[in-house]
Amino acid sequence: MNIIETAIPGVLIIEPRVFKDSRGYFFESYSQREFDEKINAILGHPIRFVQDNESMSSYGVMRGLHYQRMPYTQSKLVRCVKGAVLDVAVDIRKGSPTFGQHVAVELNEENHLQFFVPRGFAHGFSVLSETAVFQYKCDAFYHPQADAGINIKDEMFGIDWRIPADKAILSEKDLRHANLLDGPLDFDYNDNLYPEFSK
Q: What's the pTM value of the predicted model, to 2 decimals?
A: 0.94
Query: Which residues have a catalytic role annotated?
Result: 66, 136
Of the ranges 37-46, 92-101, 110-119, 162-171, which one carries the lowest mean pLDDT score? 37-46
Look up residue 61 and give its DSSP letter.
Answer: B
CATH of domain 51-191: 2.60.120.10
Measuring CA to CA, which residue among 102, 141, 144, 94 is closest to residue 125?
Answer: 102
Which helix (DSSP H) or strand (DSSP E) does residue 53 occupy? strand 51-58
pLDDT for 159 equals 97
- CB-CB neighbours of 142 under 10 Å: 12
**Residue 155 in contact with residue 100, Cβ under 8 Å?**
no
The rounded distance, in Å, linking the Cα atoms of 71 and 193 is 8
